[in-house]
Structure 1
Amino acid sequence: MNKYLVIGGSLSAFAALLHLGCIYFGAPWYRFFGAGEEMAQLAEKGSIQPTIVTSVIFIILTTWSAYAFSAAGLIKKLPLIRLALILISFIYLARGIAGFFLIYQPMGRSAEFWLWSSTICLTIGLIHLFGLRQQWAKL
């Protein structure tokens, strides 16, 4: 069992659950987690858009969690596991790095949102990358 991939999968699963919380608890959670005032206002108005966007993110994060758990040996081996983990690691790392450039051009979000979310994404990406590197020969 690869501890890095278990941790990475767990962090993706936790992030997925937080997104479900945003759907369930609505505008206050969208605001707290930095989704932007527009998303919060849409949620307050009963728009389906925040739910759709957040549901897609939930599905993606859940899938990423499953791939990490699969590579760690916790669940059945999923198809294209090497490619999937390369892409997952790359996306987390790219999002983490890109966010640091958006601190001064926040696009409706706070500088703090970009700082924290980028640090989190970069950390999760590195954890996936370390796990993938250790597990590569077994995949």
Structure 2
Amino acid sequence: MQYNRYLLAAAAASGTVAFLHLLCLVFGASWYRFLGAGERFAQLAAAGNFVPVAITVGIAALLSLWSAYALAGAGVIRKLPYTRLVLCLIAAFYCFRGLAFPSLIFFFPENSSLFWMVSSSLSFGIGMLHVLGLKQMWWKL
């Protein structure tokens, strides 16, 4: 059986991003800074505050779920509930995140321009992987 390569790549991308978030829990404040969480968030992590841990685990869990949905859409695992709808929402979120950075900058002024360019480009790219995979698999989902 041949799997959808776009959704496989989307699954790998979401899984990688989830893993990077979990590495913040291992390596601490410097990784939060490196990945663009902001100085205040990094300081909370350095102080041992539970909030960064809870948010990071939640984000990693959500991204892992998104990876599972992409795997389901690709045909690697069995279909999950509402696979087509959820993949559409995931694609929309990633594309929105990629395109909305000019508005998001004002909410996170401590993040660098490089962070916004890289993270927004990657987000949009992952969104487009979902879109292309959905286009190919639409009638099979």
The unaligned stretches of length 5 or more in structure 2 are: none
The unaligned stretches of length 5 or more in structure 1 are: none
Structure 1 residue 19, shift from structure 2 partner? 0.4
CA RMSD of superposed structures (Å): 1.3
Q: Distance in 1 between matches of 2:107 and 2:16?
A: 28
Q: Which residue does the alignment assign to 2:111?
A: 109
Q: Distance in 2 between matches of 1:56 and 1:27?
A: 17
Shifted more, 59-68 versus 93-102: the winner is: 93-102
Q: Contact 2:39–2:110 (CA<8 Å) still a contact in 1?
A: yes
| 1:98 maps to which of 97, 100, 103 | 100
| 1:81 maps to which of 80, 83, 86 | 83
Q: Which residue does the alignment assign to 1:125?
A: 127
- The two structures have a TM-score, normalised by structure 1, of 0.95
Query: Residues 23-42 of structure 1, C-alpha deviation per residue, up to 9 Å, x if partnerless?
Result: 11110100111110011100
Structure 1 residue 44, shift from structure 2 partner? 0.7
Report runs of 4+ in structure 1 exceeding 3 Å deviation: 100-106
Q: Contact 1:103–1:112 (CA<8 Å) still a contact in 2?
A: no
Q: Distance in 2 between matches of 1:108 and 1:44?
A: 17
